[in-house]
A and B are shown apart, each in its own frame.
Chain A
Amino acid sequence: MGALRGSISFSKFYVRGELPDGFRDTFVERIRLRAFTPLTVEEEADQRSGWCSIENPLDCELDHSKIFFNSYMNLGLRTDRWQIPSPLFKAHFGEAEREHLAKRGREKLGRREKEELKVVVSRRLRAQLLPVMKVIDLSWNLEQGIVRFWNQSPRVHEGLAELFEATFQLDLVPESPYTAARELGLSEAHAAAFEALKPTLFHTDNGRNPLWTSSI
C-alpha cells in the first residue's frame, strides 16, 4: 500500500510556511540528519522513527535522486520497534528469576533487582529477534504545498507532524471541512459566514419558509 503502488488510502495535509531559497539542497541535508538509524540491542529505546527511501525501506542513505520526483518529494517514514511476545518474555523472565534466586539462596527479588533483570532478559531476547518494521509512504507536492500520507491514524499523524516539523521547520495542517473551505480562498464575507455556521437540522421542520409551507 502506498504512493507508488497498491491501495490508495491517505490523509491529506496542507504545508504552512514558505519553502526556503535553495530548499532542495537544504532539505536533503535535513532529511539526512533525521534518516532512519537501526535500533541496537544495547540501547534502551524500544522504538525509533526516521526517513527512508520510498522505494526501499532498507535504504536510508538518501540523496536527491531518491527523494525528488520532479515537483514531488517522496519519502518513507520508517518506524522499527522491539516487540517481544509477552508469553516468551514471561517464560524467559521466570527462568532467569529462578536462577538468580537459587544462586543467592533467596525467595524473592527486590523491586530494583526485578527491573534490572527485566532489562537483562529483554536484551538477551532482542539479540535473538529482529525489530518489527513499519513503513508509511509520504508524498509532498512541492508546488501545491500538499502532503499525502498513507496512514489514517491520528496517533501516527502526531508522530509525523513532530518529525516533519523538526526536519523541514514547516507545519502540517490536516484536511478537514474547515481547512478545505479556507483553501478555497473564501472572501471575507464567506469566511465570516463559515465561522458563524450552525448545524442544519434536516429531520425537523425548523426554519421552514412560510411560502414553502403554503406550497405543500
Chain B
Amino acid sequence: MDLVDLIEKRRFVGREFLVWLWFESELFEGRFEAPGVGPCEVWLEGQITLVQEKEQSRLKGATPAAAPEAHEALRQGKLPTQAKVRVTRGELDYAFVFNADALSLSGVKIPAQVKEESDEQFYERMFLVEDLEELFGALYADFLALRLSTAWESDVAPAIRAWVRGEVIADPEALRRLRKRVTPLGRAPRAQTTPPPGEAPAAGTGALRVA
C-alpha cells in the first residue's frame, strides 16, 4: 500500500480516537494523565458532529456530547468526525475544533498572550500551539498504545460498547490499571516472565465490570 492509500484507509483511527477521548472524558470527569505531559483535563463542549456514510448528526449546546441524542447517534453506528474540545493543563487553557479524519485543529483559542512586540508575540503563539500539539499528541500516543494492544479487543472496546449502550462502568479505575500493562509506543516490548507481586491481572480477564 502506498502512502496516500495508508493515509486514506486509516482515517477511521482518528474517529476512534475521538470516541475514546469522549468515553474517557465522561468516565473520569475530564481527568487525563498522558505519559510525558502529566495531568490535564479534556472536555468535549460546544459542538459535535457524528457521521455514518451520508447520515450526519450535528449537535450544538453547552455539552452536546452529554446529550442523549449524541449517545443515540453512537448507538445507530455513527462516529464523531468533528468536536469542539477544551484542554486545560495547569493554568493553560486551550479550546479548538478537532477534525478527526485529518487529525487537525482549527479555531484554536490559546491562553492570553503577554508579549507585546510582534516577533515576541509570534514566538509565544508558536510556543503555545506547539505545547497544545505536544499534549494532544501524547493523548493520541496513549490511545494508540491501547488501540494496538490486545487489551483493546479484550477490555477497552467492550467497555466503550457498554458505555454506548448506556451501562455504568462499575470499576473505571480498572481501565487505568490496564494502561500499566500496555507497551508504550516506540519501545520494544519487555520480555514477560512472572508478573511482580501485586501487579494487575493480564488483559482479557474481564477486569472491567459494568454494573
Greatest chain A CB density within 10 A among B77, B79, B147, B161 is at B161
28 A-B pairs (CB sep. < 8 Å): A3-B126, A5-B121, A7-B108, A8-B110, A8-B129, A10-B106, A12-B133, A55-B118, A141-B130, A174-B7, A174-B102, A176-B101, A177-B12, A185-B186, A187-B185, A187-B188, A190-B185, A194-B13, A197-B148, A200-B157, A202-B19, A202-B160, A202-B164, A203-B75, A203-B76, A209-B154, A212-B206, A216-B167
Residue of B nearest to A185 (CB): B186
CA distance A74 to B121 in the complex (A): 14
Does B10 reach chain A (CB closer than 8 Å)? yes
Residue of A nearest to B14 (CB): A177
Q: Say yes or no: A177 contacts B17, CB within 8 Å.
A: yes
Q: Say yes or no: A148 contacts B7, CB within 8 Å.
A: no
Residue of B nearest to A208 (CB): B158
Residue of B nearest to A4 (CB): B122
Q: Select the stretch in B25-33, B58-66, B84-92, B136-144 that faces chain A.
A: B136-144
Partner of B6, one of A178, A189, A208: A178
The count of chain B contact residues (Cβ–Cβ below 8 Å) is 68
Residues of chain B with a CB closer than 8 A to A190's CB: 144, 148, 183, 185-186
Residues of chain A with a CB closer than 8 A to B187's CB: 187
CA distance A29 to B92 in the complex (A): 40
Residues of chain B with a CB closer than 8 A to A189's CB: 188-189
Residues of chain B with a CB closer than 8 A to A72's CB: 122, 126
Residues of chain A with a CB closer than 8 A to B118's CB: 4, 55
Which residues of A are interface residues toward B (Cβ below 8 A)?
3-5, 7-12, 55, 69-70, 72, 74, 139, 141, 144, 148, 152, 173-181, 184-187, 189-190, 193-195, 197, 199-205, 207-209, 211-212, 214-216
Contact A69-B210, Cβ < 8 Å, known A8-B107, A9-B107, A184-B137: no
Q: Say yes or no: A215 contacts B110, CB within 8 Å.
A: no
A162 CB to nearest B CB, Å: 16
Residue of A nearest to B122 (CB): A4
Q: Say yes or no: A211 contacts B16, CB within 8 Å.
A: no
Q: Say yes or no: A203 contacts B164, CB within 8 Å.
A: yes
Q: Say yes or no: A203 contacts B148, CB within 8 Å.
A: no
> 13 additional contacts, CB 8 Å, given A8-B106, A184-B185, A201-B77?
A7-B108, A9-B106, A69-B122, A176-B11, A181-B13, A184-B137, A187-B183, A187-B189, A199-B16, A204-B161, A209-B155, A209-B204, A215-B206
Partner of A69, one of B16, B119, B133, B188: B119
CA distance A166 to B119 in the complex (A): 28
